[in-house]
């Protein structure tokens, strides 16, 4: 047993030196104090990294199919009344949503941006539910009221009991409603008067769109939209205006849910119109993003980059539709962010590296200073130090 213990003793990599051979110096004490403080600071820095999660980023090919894209927006138009403003969305698959009203809200604002009234999306005066006369003849006993569509009805049984229904029937036909006062329903509901009453006001429109996950665009423009000869046009003649001020401030544009660290480059962007009305365009490149937190909860969202362009009205040619357009494309690459904690073994390894590294470097520095002092002292004793 003594031989075994002796062999183990010979393996000691840390031979002990008698205290009689120790030589403590002032420089060594200062280096020890400074290196100890440095080790403590590095230890707490490593401990903070261990206690907090780190985010790992990866790029992968987006193989998802059949998903939907949710677009959240909040935009203020300080010089465009809510009575004029409409929202359309379309994509390359051919799907169109014209004059969107569901999940959309409009808030009338004054010149200072203070809210006046909030209501669901729509154009024109408030609908009056009480219908007008039946088109094409007199009312008979117990006959239901049915307003005329003024030639835009598909069958004789179609009714248009409000100005909005007449305009919708005209839109389906691809007709422009140039004189609303010639329509009984619009005149009765005060369609043009409501627009005049909102003169000088602005509109804050907010909500969200649920669209196909393919390239497309959505835009905010005055007038009701319809298709004429496969061309997307807006009925602006009814408003009797030559130009529209499309100055706007984007409070928020987001493709999908919020996740920690996301930066939406259009949030807070403001543009003021100086030239005559035209088309302000935003071209967005949308990158699908998945964020997974330390608890394993995943958030399906998107990031995007953007470029801007203003297209003014062209003289002598087909005039540019005034409005704010957002054109977006989907990237085939998906970004994944994964939150995770540093392992304890990794933390322990770094702590040992800190202690060992600082101790070794401080030892080398102390040795250099000590031997330098000894060399200088010997030269001074021999009288060779000048």
Beta strands in the chain (DSSP E): 54-61, 68-77, 85-91, 96-97, 104-109, 115-120, 202-212, 216-222, 224-228, 231-235, 248-255, 270-271, 278-292, 298-312, 323-330, 333-340
pLDDT at 138: 45
DSSP bridge partners of 253: 73
Q: Are strands 96-97 and 85-91 parallel, antiparallel or unpaired?
A: antiparallel
* CA 180/CA 237 separation, integer angstroms: 10
Say if strands 278-292 and 323-330 run parallel, antiparallel, or are unpaired.
parallel
CA dihedral for 185, 191, 192, 197, sign (positive or negative) = positive
Sign of CA dihedral 306, 312, 313, 317: negative
What's residue 185's pLDDT?
A: 74
pLDDT, tens digit, for every residue of 175-193? 766 667 677 777 776 666 6
Say if residues 261 and 295 touch (Cβ distance below 8 Å): no
CA gap 269, 252 in Å, rounded: 9
The whole-number pLDDT of residue 319 equals 65
pLDDT value at position 144?
Answer: 62
CA–CA gap between residue 119 and residue 141 (Å, rounded): 38
- Three-state secondary structure call for residue 67: coil
Residue 342 to residue 241: CA distance in whole angstroms: 64
Tokens of 159: 């009714």
Residues of the chain with pLDDT under 70: 11-23, 117-145, 174, 176-179, 181, 189-193, 195-197, 226-230, 237-242, 313-319, 384-386
Exposure on the CB side of residue 211, measured as CA atoms within 13 A:
27
- pLDDT at residue 245, as a whole number: 87
Q: Is residue 125 within 8 Å of residue 109, measured between CB atoms? A: no
Angstrom distance (rounded) from CA 380 to CA 304: 72
Token digits for 111?
């010149």
Let me know: does 69 contact 256? Beta carbons within 8 Å: yes
Nearest to 39 by CA among 361, 348, 354: 354
Domain spans of the chain, in order of start: 37-53+342-361, 60-339
Check residue 80 and give its pLDDT.
87
Which position has the token pair 């088309």?
A: 279
The rounded distance, in Å, linking the Cα atoms of 303 and 255 is 7
Distance of alpha carbon 308 from alpha carbon 327, whole angstroms: 10
| Dist CA 272 CA 6 (whole Å) | 89
Rounded-to-integer distance, Cα 172 and Cα 169, Å: 5
Contact between residue 181 and residue 192 where contact means Cβ atoms under 8 Å apart:
yes
């Amino acid at each position: 047993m003594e031989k075994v213990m002796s062999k183990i003793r010979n393996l000691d990599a840390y031979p002990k030196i008698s205290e009689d051979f120790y030589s403590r110096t002032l420089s060594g004490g200062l280096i020890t104090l400074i290196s100890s403080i440095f080790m403590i600071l590095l230890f707490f820095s490593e401990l903070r990294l261990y206690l907090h999660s780190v985010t790992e980023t990866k790029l992968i090919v987006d193989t998802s199919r059949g998903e939907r894209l949710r677009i959240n927006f909040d935009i203020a138009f300080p010089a465009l009344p809510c009575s004029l403003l409409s929202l359309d969305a379309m994509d390359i698959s051919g799907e169109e949503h014209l004059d969107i009203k569901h999940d959309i809200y409009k808030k009338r604002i004054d010149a200072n941006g203070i809210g006046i009234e909030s209501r669901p999306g729509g154009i024109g005066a408030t609908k009056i539910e009480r219908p007008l006369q039946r088109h094409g003849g007199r009312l008979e006993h117990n006959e239901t009221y049915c307003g005329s569509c003024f030639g835009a009805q598909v069958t004789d049984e179609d009714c248009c009991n409000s100005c909005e229904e007449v305009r919708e029937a005209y839109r389906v036909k691809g007709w422009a409603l140039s004189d609303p006062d010639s329509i009984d329903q619009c005149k009765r509901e005060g369609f043009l008067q409501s627009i005049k009453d909102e003169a000088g006001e602005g509109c804050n429109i907010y909500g969200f769109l649920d669209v196909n996950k393919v390239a497309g665009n959505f835009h905010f423009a005055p007038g009701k939209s319809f298709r004429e000869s496969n061309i997307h046009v807006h009925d602006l003649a009814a408003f009797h205006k030559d130009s529209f001020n499309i100055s706007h401030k984007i409070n928020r544009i987001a493709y999908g849910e919020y996740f920690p660290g996301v930066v939406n480059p259009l949030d807070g962007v403001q543009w003021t119109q100086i030239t005559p009305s035209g088309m302000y365009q935003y071209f967005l490149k949308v990158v699908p993003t998945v964020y997974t937190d330390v608890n394993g909860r995943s958030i399906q969202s998107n990031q995007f980059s953007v470029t801007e362009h203003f297209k003014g009205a062209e003289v002598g040619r087909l005039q540019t539709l005034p409005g704010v357009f957002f054109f977006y494309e989907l990237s085939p690459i998906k970004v994944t962010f994964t939150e995770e904690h540093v392992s304890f073994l990794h933390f322990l390894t770094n702590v040992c590296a800190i202690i060992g590294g600082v101790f070794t470097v401080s030892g080398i520095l102390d040795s250099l200073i000590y031997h330098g002092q000894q060399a200088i002292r010997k030269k001074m004793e021999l009288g060779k130090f000048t």
